[in-house]
Structure 1
Amino acid sequence: MKHLPQINLFYWALIISANTMGETAGDLISQTFNLGYGGGTIALITLFLIALIISICSNSQKPLLYWMVVTLASTAGTTISDFISRSFFHLELGFTENEGYTFGTILLTAALLFIFGIWKYHSKTNTIENGLNKRTEFLYWIAILTSSTLGTAFGDLLAHNTPLGFEGGTLLLLLLLSVVVGLVYLTKISRELLYWSAIILTHPIGATMGDYLTKPEGMNLGNINASLLLVVVFIVVIATGQLTKNRQFN
């Protein structure tokens, strides 16, 4: 059985950093590198599946591999979401781009609920706390990929279909995330339910933050500069977490 990395402040900081980096890197691959949403999705899904197979075949949880799969899931989720919302619903079916975000969000919510249903059918225990076998680890990563895709679609929905925009959408999602954190400390609600609630919220947070960094409506850094900045932030968070961990054992 494999256990997740210790779920603490640094874990969630890395999750948000990876999701934000995934948003900008996904746009970098599909837009700046001109692979398109379809080509970018194929390339990133291939890399994700390779990393997923390596992770499942590994006998122990390796932190570097874990965060690599998280980042690839977030990056692939960005291009998949854009392909569903913009290419499929908008360009192929003729809906408006804003309607594409709405239909994409509904479709991906249903897909995520379906995956959770399969997971609960195969595992009656709290696998987040008790560990993952090979089957539940596979379902865990598919749920992470799907929630990443949903997060991008929902983040776009908030930013484009509501008056909140990128900045307001991010603030609202951070507020909702703080409510989930409060429930962890103040209630006895299932920790697995709260974990996935937080995971689902961190993906659109990363999507809206990434768009705020890259788009003209935000800081207008562009995909390349924003991606480089977020790689540095990701490394700093990892280094800070490792230094803190080392000091605790000294």
Structure 2
Amino acid sequence: MNHRTEHALSKVPEVTLMFWIVKIAATTLGETGGDAVTMSMNLGYLVGTLIFAVAFIAAVIVQIRAKAFQPALYWVTIIATTTVGTTLADFADRSLGIGYAGGSSLLLALLLISLFVWYRALGSVSVDTISSPKAEMFYWVTIMFSQTLGTALGDWMADTAGFGYTGAAVVFGGLIVLIAAAYFWTNVSRTLLFWAAFILTRPLGATLGDLLDKPLSSGGLALSRYSASAALLAFILTSLLVFRQRAASKAH
């Protein structure tokens, strides 16, 4: 298989600064959108999880069947993972009574197991090697676990640890800055740094989303979940139109 064919088979975007900006916006949208369905519409965490789980499965199926990288489809799938992650984490933490610490521990274990099985099956968990349906399936399952874990971590940091939404956002933002510094000034594995950053953008988005839509009495800004979600979606769409994304090149 030549390089051009391999490149065409890659259906994940090249990891650039804009990738991370859109990822944070998408994870924030996942928080406000998930809360809009479960709280503003009063459907509850279980029903919300079922709705978004169906959307997630449908999006992943379409993504895997696609013949080439399609930015809009990719980010729809990312948003589907982050919304189902929001409602699933809230259901486990609050409705099932596992708590933030218990939920985070369970989800961290599932995430590590997913990465381990993926590595043992295909020999790499690098996004540069995602060019087959099997690799894509591992990729999306791992992302779903990471998004759910991020929600639980964000809630734990903001509520249980007492940092509040602003404080938690600063903590997670600071950790991402440290990862960026490690990327530019150390030889730490790029794959390790990618997944660390990918995981941490979710609790950052979760705390930013909560900061936007939670009541003033809880430390939020009490903005409408619907208007916040619409604004975030508009930002994502504008970013994708202005800054064209390319597919990641397959590693050799």
What TM-score does the superposition give when structure 1 sets the normalisation length?
0.90
Q: Distance in 1 between matches of 2:73 and 2:228?
A: 23
Query: Which amino acid counterpart does residue 28 of structure 2 have in structure 1?
Result: T
Q: Distance in 2 between matches of 1:126 and 1:104?
A: 24
Give 1:1-250 correspondences, 5 Å limit. 1-89=9-97, 100-125=99-124, 127-216=126-215, 217-242=219-244
Q: How far did 1:126 drift?
A: 5.1
Q: Distance in 1 between matches of 2:100 and 2:148?
A: 11
Answer whether contact 1:159 1:165 (CA < 8 A) is retained.
yes
Q: Sequence identity of aligned pairs in percent?
A: 35
Query: Which amino acid counterpart does residue 237 of structure 1 have in structure 2?
Result: S
Unaligned runs of 5+ in 1: 91-99, 246-250
Runs of 4+ in 1 over 3 A off after TM superposition: none
Q: Quick one: higher RCO (CA 8 Å, sep 6+), 1 or 2?
A: 2
1:36-82 residue CA offsets vs partner (Å, 9 max, x unmatched): 10001111100110110111112222111111100010011000000
Q: Distance in 2 between matches of 1:185 and 1:112?
A: 26
Q: Distance in 1 between matches of 2:166 and 2:126?
A: 35
Unaligned runs of 5+ in 2: 1-8, 247-252
Answer whether contact 1:129 1:192 (CA < 8 A) is retained.
no
Q: Distance in 1 between matches of 2:133 and 2:237?
A: 29
Q: Distance in 1 between matches of 2:131 and 2:156?
A: 33
Q: Distance in 2 between matches of 1:108 and 1:190?
A: 23
Most deviating of 16-25 and 223-232: 223-232
Q: Distance in 1 between matches of 2:130 and 2:114?
A: 18
Q: Distance in 1 between matches of 2:32 and 2:125?
A: 33
1:57-112 residue CA offsets vs partner (Å, 9 max, x unmatched): 1222211111110001001100000000001126xxxxxxxxx1111111111110
Structure 1 residues 88 and 126: alpha-carbon distance in aligned structure 2, compared to 1, 3 A threshold: closer
What TM-score does the superposition give when structure 2 sets the normalisation length?
0.89
Aligned residues: 235
Q: Distance in 2 between matches of 1:108 and 1:16?
A: 20
Say which SS state the counterpart of residue 221 (structure 1) adopts. coil
Q: How far did 1:3 drift?
A: 4.6
